[in-house]
Amino acid sequence: MISDKAAIAGIGATEFSKNSGRSEFRLASEAVKAALDDAGVSASEVDGLCTMTVDNNSEAEIARAIGAGELSFFSRIAFGGGGACAVVQQAVLAVASGLANVVVCYRAMNERSQYRFGGPLIGAPLTSEGEVMAYHTLHGLSTAAALVAVMMRRYMKSYGATRLDFANVTIAARKHAAQNPAAFFYGKPLTLDEYLNSRIIADPLHLYDCCQESDGAVALVITSSARARDLRRKPVLVRGAAQGAGRGSIPLMNFYGEDIVPFDDTRIVSDQLYRMSGLSPGDMDAAIIYDHFGPTILPALEASGFCARGEAKDFIKGGNIEIGGGLPVNTHGGQIGEAYIHGMNGIAEAVRQVRGTAVNQVANLSNIMVTSGGGVPTSGLILGI
Amino acid sequence: MSLSSREFAFFYEGLERGELLMQSCADCSSIRNPPTTMCQKCGSFDWEPVRMSGRGTVYSYTVHHYPPLEGFSLPHPVGVVQLEEGVRVVAGLDGLEIADVEIEKPVKVEFIQRNGQASFRFGPA
């Protein structure tokens, strides 16, 4: 239906830091300009914009800042980090349906220097969602880490996974980040001892299970595949783009159904991605798996069909998710190692992998999967040549 | 509670009376949590509050260490309890010693004041 109709023709980003020293509006403007320059498309051709609902820069503001053309498409996706791939899906839908020709996707956050996602969640007052949030946070279960910790404790009990297993995720991420000049932890791999002894956040999650808090912005330019072939860069085809939410699920507070492990949302996405693209897990040469919390990569790998339920702890052993392994994961270092731009920097890495320009380049890469946040209504992409 | 909508008011009023109440569908009797507007199973908008026994087992949990949480002394055990009626509820587990918190531990509800309002948590059964 939409497979291969659109391509990511440009990517742009600011530096990633702990204090950008400038506004989110400025960061977004810089990233968008960089993405347009990368694509070789002028701002006046931009006729669509999409971002996540939590972004503090409206589509109109960005369009005004960059000197965009007349707009025929503007859209936002909810549920925080679950939305990054869905933002690209929106752009793909717009382009594939003929509603827009050049759609910019962006996300800019001074999350480290201005506001921090690691603190207690507060739902908007007088919303039904805020009501449900308050129902949970009044008991002192109120940070994303604590909420995910409850899910992952159940995963550990169900499948026998331990912190030693979770360590494999973080150590691989930090190994990749250590090679990546854009990463906060460039030059700084992590040892098992350092991982195990890091400060506890919400049992079983410790500091190095958690993604960073970062300042920075990332932008993408989506056009038709035909247009992308005429532009500067090797086209990165969007082979699949999907959203997914389990029945009756509650974002981050999905404690009431059969399964509280963050699985179903991702499974619904991956089923669609494989169906849309005609590909299977074995066709993925690498994967960018969302790591707001590294341990969630285990159920996400299972939900994406890379291994059976409960077997991710074995799948990630022995370097299998590192460069050179069977399925390199988060080759940029992930959000644990590179930076946390709400999933958008992971999409940019996937684009580089398809182009062949990544720092930790996987040889002969044809297809790469990207997943968005676990435990929330989520999304995913398959990008390829 | 200032945020309480009509769907949740009965629950918080129940806590003030020392009752753990859930919505029970008037048409098909299924019990649901969290409160919502209608029955997911049969579509009915009619429901009655039903009082839970307060007995259950720990389904999962965390112990929150960082960052500081206003109104809570840390580390704070909190999690999901599977009530014997079959429905799950989220609550503090600080009626238990942290070392005793584990999945499948039998627990019983305790009605408490938390931060100036009627609340509940679970302690040893």
Q: What is the CATH number of the domain that holds B104?
A: 2.40.50
Q: How many domains does chain B have?
A: 2
Specify whether A340 is catalytic.
yes
Residues B104 and B120 in one domain: yes
Residues B78 and B102 in one domain: yes
Q: How many domains does chain A have?
A: 1
pTM of the model: 0.97
Residues 6+ apart with CB under 8 A from A37: A10, A12
ipTM of the complex: 0.97
A contact residues 191-220, partner B, Cβ 8 Å cutoff: 199-205
Specify whether A208 is catalytic.
no
Residues B17 and B75 in one domain: no
Residues B40 and B75 in one domain: no
Whether A118 has its CB under 8 Å from any CB of chain B: the answer is yes
- A140 interaction partners in chain B (CB closer than 8 Å): 64, 69, 71-72, 76, 78, 92
For residue A143, tell me if it sits in a domain.
no
For residue A163, tell me if it sits in a domain.
no
For residue A88, tell me if it sits in a domain.
yes
With beta carbons less than 8 A apart as the criterion, state whether A14 and A27 touch: yes
Residues B13 and B29 in one domain: yes
Q: Verify whether the Cβ–Cβ distance A125 to B34 is below 8 Å.
A: no
Residues B70 and B121 in one domain: yes
Residues B108 and B60 in one domain: yes
Whether A115 has its CB under 8 Å from any CB of chain B: the answer is no
Residues B5 and B26 in one domain: yes
Question: What is the extent of the structural domain holding A267?
Answer: 6-115+214-380
Assign B6 a pLDDT band (cuts: 50, 70, 90).
Answer: confident
For residue A40, tell me if it sits in a domain.
yes
Catalytic residue among A155, A208, A274, A340: A340
Interface mutation target, options B2, B10, B40, B60, chain A, most CBs of A under 10 Å: B60
Q: Verify whether the Cβ–Cβ distance B78 to A131 is below 8 Å.
A: no
Question: Any idea what the CATH number is for the domain that residue A317 is in?
Answer: 3.40.47.10
Residues B117 and B74 in one domain: yes
Residues B91 and B45 in one domain: no
> Of B9, B29, B51, at which residue does a domain stop?
B51
For residue A159, tell me if it sits in a domain.
no
Q: What are phi and psi of B27, to 5 degrees?
A: -95, -40
Residues 6+ apart with CB under 8 A from A6: A91, A92, A95, A96, A222, A223, A224, A225, A228, A237, A238
Q: What is the pLDDT along chain A (385 residues), one digit of tens a residue?
A: 899 999 999 999 999 999 999 999 999 999 999 999 999 999 999 999 999 999 999 999 999 999 999 999 999 999 999 999 999 999 999 999 999 999 999 999 999 999 988 899 887 777 888 899 999 999 999 999 999 999 999 999 999 999 999 999 999 999 999 999 999 999 999 999 999 999 999 999 999 999 999 999 999 999 999 999 999 999 999 999 999 999 999 999 999 999 999 999 999 999 999 999 999 999 999 999 999 999 999 999 999 999 999 999 999 999 999 999 999 999 999 999 999 999 999 999 999 999 999 999 999 999 999 999 999 999 999 999 9
Question: What is the extent of the structural domain holding B2?
Answer: 1-51
Number of cross-chain residue pairs from A and B with Cβ atoms under 8 Å apart? 104
Interface mutation target, options B64, B69, B117, chain A, most CBs of A under 10 Å: B64
d(CA B38, CA B61): 28
Assign B4 a pLDDT band (cuts: 50, 70, 90).
Answer: low
Give me the numbers of helices (H) and strands (E) for chain B, helices first please: 1, 8
pLDDT tens digits, B89-104:
999 999 999 999 999 9
Instruction: Give pLDDT, residue B5.
Output: 74
Residues B43 and B58 in one domain: no
